[in-house]
Chain A
Amino acid sequence: MSETLLALKGVHTHIGAYHILHGVDFDVPVGEVTMLLGRNGAGKTTTLRTIMGLWEASQGSVVFDGRQIGGPEGKGDGDAAASQLRTPEIAAQGIAYVPENMGIFSDLSVAENMLLAARKARTLAQLDGARLEWLFGLFPALKKFWLHPAGKLSGGQKQMLAIARAIVEPRRLLLIDEPSKGLAPAIVQNLIAALRELKRTATTVLLVEQNFQVAKALGDRVAVMDDGRVVHRGQMAELAGDEALQHRLLGLSLGAHQ
């Protein structure tokens, strides 16, 4: 059993009057890709936003590398008020987030988008050149459109930029929300190839997906959500090989996305 980097315990999240998460429990082991699957509305995006502190957990705890970053319940010691970190503080722990809408700053150039994500660099010249070359290798479109406005990129290119931006500096945990959404199959293959390359560097990733092909190609572990809870935890290979289980857990949404 590898070391746990992120642990959610009994996390409840309310958005306004709506109770979205009803006690989410799962672990993200270090150096592996954990898939978060589930039907539309199961609470996957809300889970990522809660980890990021964009919504606050009303119960339970989010623990990153032994330190509580979210939720009111202290782990014995820390007091409740101090346990929920704000989003910038959570990001500063080394957690990068690629939201479903990609969060690209469309008025800024590709280069400026990358620069903003690099907290250590103040000018483009201060960006880590070797790492940049590595990212250009993963996502060639970035180099080609380096000084172009990010808003003019295609959907696939924006997704590549969003992921590259998240890892412009080494990060400890990467949260990615449905990167394959709205992309043509050929582009999804490119995306899988790039994420596989990233996986080889033992980056810890928590990946939300609807596309089971992507999940099968990338996942080590899997957690399946339904109605604001995690209803299945296990190895991705096990779920990929068990069609009855897939059908029970993911139902029709699976067929619709294959």
Chain B
Amino acid sequence: MSETASPGAVATAAAPAGEALAKTRFDLRPLALMAAIALAAWPVVGSSSTWLTLTVAGLAMGMIIFIAASGLTLVFGLMDVLNFGHSLFIALGAYIATSVFTSLGNWATATSLAQNLAAIAVAMIAAMLLAGSIGLVFERVIVRPVYGQHLKQILVTIGGAIVGEELIKVVWGPAQIPLPPPEALRGSILIGAASVEKLRLVSVAIGVVVLVALLYTLNRTKIGLLIRAGVQDREMVESLGYRIRRLFVGVFAAGSALAGLGGCLWGMNQQIVVPQIGGQVNVLLFIVIIIGGLGSTLGCLFGALLVGLISNYVGFLAPKLAMFSSIGLMVAVLLWRPQGLYPVTNR
């Protein structure tokens, strides 16, 4: 965008020091919106303990969705690729968790918390590694030939997801597979009068770790700066001498790995894994990244948390409206901010 600056604005270039520009003011309104929704739900839900349970469950669900969606938003932002095959990596993550838990049988069924957590850690790492490496192949074979062609991207990535889903049925069978949480993480703990599922707390903790790692990478490392710069202006990043394709392949693989991690956690929270698990989450992911502003990581986080909270509140208050609530939220947010909560500039 060419800047047709008014002479007044330009004059600050020559203005004496002291008249500082406003530093980045972090836009707090989406955060306030989230707090407002949580507070508004309190009297409606009625009991404080139920409200706390729902809120923690909502935040946990939000964190899992965020983990799964963060890769999707970066892939879109950086390379303009609409990857409807993202759901495949979620399903893959969940299935790998079932296999890991089966093969580590006694770790997951032991009552020792340390062994249980180790089982989860192994499952998560395996899910990330496998989803990440299949992501590399997926990018090379399916996505690369259709760069810059949105319609073909949608068709071919959906096709890839269907083929992947069928391959999952070949490997793991078409029947649903139970994925019970490890022994020590079953049940709830009581916080005051509210019962909070242990597994949800673990999910929130893992989500926070991923979030911190992601924010650190994006804000404090040169690779992260390149990714953020590439989301804004691909051509300029190339003109500065960086191969954006290579960066993109890395982001695609990392995004697929995160989807695998998200799928692993989602499966454990659902306690049951079906081949369609990815497709079920996929709709939520697209809602989340649209709410957040395509390409924005922070937007993705708040979008995911909003979706998590709202679906838990609505699921409790009016279960029949639960499916509608996320789409309703998206419509409302887009009416308020058509570009999403945190629009990516230059786009």
Contact = CB atoms under 8 A, between A and B. Distances in A.
Interface of A: 52, 54, 86-88, 91-92, 96-97, 99-103, 105-108, 112, 115-117, 119, 122-123, 141, 144-145, 147-149, 151-158, 160, 181-184, 186-187, 190
A145 B232 CA distance: 21
B329 to A, nearest CB: 25
Contacts of B222: 115-116, 122-123
B40 interface: no
Nearest to B238: A87
Nearest to A121: B222
A190 B14 contact: yes
B32 interface: no
Interface of B: 1-5, 7, 9-14, 17, 20-24, 222, 225-226, 228-229, 232-233, 235-244, 344-346
Given A92-B241, A157-B13, A184 B3 contact: no
Contacts of A116: 222, 225-226, 229, 237, 240
Given A101-B2, A103-B236, 13 more contacts: A87-B238, A88-B243, A101-B1, A103-B239, A105-B229, A107-B345, A116-B222, A116-B229, A148-B21, A152-B24, A155-B9, A155-B10, A186-B11
Nearest to A92: B241
Residue of B1, B13, B21 contacting most chain A CB atoms (<10 Å): B13
A115 B2 contact: no
Contact of B12 (A86, A122, A151, A154): A154
A119 B237 CA distance: 11
A141 B19 CA distance: 11
Q: What 7 pairs across the A-B complex have the smallest Cβ distances?
A: A155-B5, A103-B236, A91-B241, A184-B7, A156-B13, A87-B238, A155-B3
A103 B344 CA distance: 15
Contact of A154 (B13, B242, B244): B13
A54 B238 CA distance: 9
11 contacts: A86-B243, A91-B241, A103-B233, A105-B229, A106-B345, A144-B20, A145-B21, A147-B23, A152-B21, A155-B3, A186-B11
